[in-house]
Amino acid sequence: MKKIIWLALWLPMLFSACRPKENTKSPIPPEGIWRAEIRLKGAWLPFNFNLSYSDGSPLMSIKNGEELIEVQDLVMTNDSLIIKMPVFHSEIHLAVADDTMRGEWWYLSAGSDYRLPFRAVHGVAYRFFPDTALQVPAVDISGKWKAVFHPGDPERERVKLGIFHQKGNKLKGTFDSPTGDYRYLEGVVSGDSLYLSEFDGAFAYLFKAKVGDTIRGILYSGRSGVYPWIAFRDEAFTLPDPESMTRLKPGEERILHTFSDLEGQPVSLSDERFRGKVLVVEVMGTWCSNCKDEAKLLTRLYEKYKDKGLEVVSLAYERSGDLDKERENILRMRDNLGIPYTILFAGKIGEAEAQLPIDRLYSYPTTFFIDRSGRIRKVHSGFSGPATGEAYERTVQKFNEIIQNLLEE
């Protein structure tokens, strides 16, 4: 009996001593280039990011064409990495395993259930395919193309301007439209196939197409969007004048609605601090990528003209319409972009037509230019951002001219 008891106590110790000790050190994702993919409906969207460390804290920069998105709010806990995207209410939750990471992208602005599979591998610099797998392009698509999305569908058909810059296999570009552009797209042309993608924390776009005299393809967008499109080369094609789209209601020329500041206090554009000033009023949302691009321009214009009598006000229309729920999102955007001008909470998406003297709101952003007497003088729909090149430069010039003219009156 004593031998049995002694063996029962000793054998577990023996086998435990024979087992290798478990590695309790948490994996640390290595520095350098990574290739990431997000699972959309029917396809994986690829993009690249660089990971580095500063005083032991991880930093991330996402590359889309000419744009680098710097991400500083990353938290490592054991084998998990949580990445909080700047500007947008968006997070990436990952499990780290040496040279790979897997998890989900959470687009919280669109709801707590908006989660898409995410994976990344270290040391892979290509976006779509390695150079050795690329075929000689069948055509150079550089230039302007008239692009029709949902062709043949009278209710959903939309016409946009494709702007492409191709150098060998490498391809960059965007699609501009009356409501705004698709920002920085990056990819390749291989043989007769086109591939472009973009991820900025709020929007995830993947374009695939066959190229030739025409371009025929599919746009994958977010968790559910799958849109057919066709494009025709047309260097003369132009979009509608953004100042001709949004019309004022008959007999109305002022914004009379009272909004809330971020503390919930009422603010009117006729308040003393705005009286006698030239006003630029932007209709925006923290979920809107084009609004981010316009906010950067408005910041520069405000700093340039504020001493001459310019005020800039952003009216934030958010998904919930609840200031207590949206305040953090607005402050995140303000602080990340360094916005120095006034941001007011306007309410829920869809309420603008009832509050503003316009027949219809076509786009976020929409921008009002108001003279010193409080009269609306111009309304600009949409925003062509830096990725559009010439269109963006025209927009910058136009905004400057309008403000200068109003200040000089």
Task: Express each pLDDT in 190-249 by its tens digit.
Answer: 999 999 999 999 999 999 999 999 999 999 999 999 999 999 999 999 999 999 999 999
End-to-end Cα spacing for the chain: 107
Euclidean distance between CA atoms 326 and 330, whole angstroms: 6
Q: Work out the pLDDT band at 14, boundaries 50, 70, 90.
A: very low
Mean pLDDT of 266-270: 97
The SS3 call for residue 186 is: strand
The dihedral through the CA atoms of 22, 25, 27, 31 has a sign that is negative
State residue 295 phi and psi, 5-degree precision: -60, -35
CATH number of 32-122: 2.40.128.120
User: Between residues 26 and 366, which one has the greater pLDDT?
Assistant: 366
CATH number of 131-233: 2.40.128.120
User: Between residues 396 and 98, which one has the greater pLDDT?
Assistant: 396
pLDDT over 70 (residue 20): no
Domain ranges of the chain: 32-122, 131-233, 259-408
Q: What is the pTM of this model?
A: 0.90
Residue 310, phi-psi category: left (phi > 0), alpha (psi -120 to 50), beta (remainder): beta
pLDDT over 90 (residue 31): yes
Euclidean distance between CA atoms 219 and 352, whole angstroms: 29
Contacts of 114-119 with CB under 8 Å at 24 or more apart are: 114/223, 116/38, 116/39, 116/40, 116/204, 116/222, 116/223, 117/38, 117/39, 118/36, 118/37, 118/38, 118/39, 118/92, 118/94, 119/36, 119/37
Euclidean distance between CA atoms 335 and 316, whole angstroms: 15
Instruction: For residue range 78-117, list pLDDT tens digits in order.
Output: 999 999 999 999 999 999 998 999 999 999 999 999 999 9
Euclidean distance between CA atoms 389 and 75, whole angstroms: 36
User: Under CATH, to which class is 259-408 assigned?
Assistant: alpha beta
Instruction: For residue range 290-328, list pLDDT tens digits in order.
Output: 999 999 999 999 999 999 999 999 999 999 999 999 999
Mean pLDDT of 11-40: 68
CB atoms within 10 A of CB 175: 26
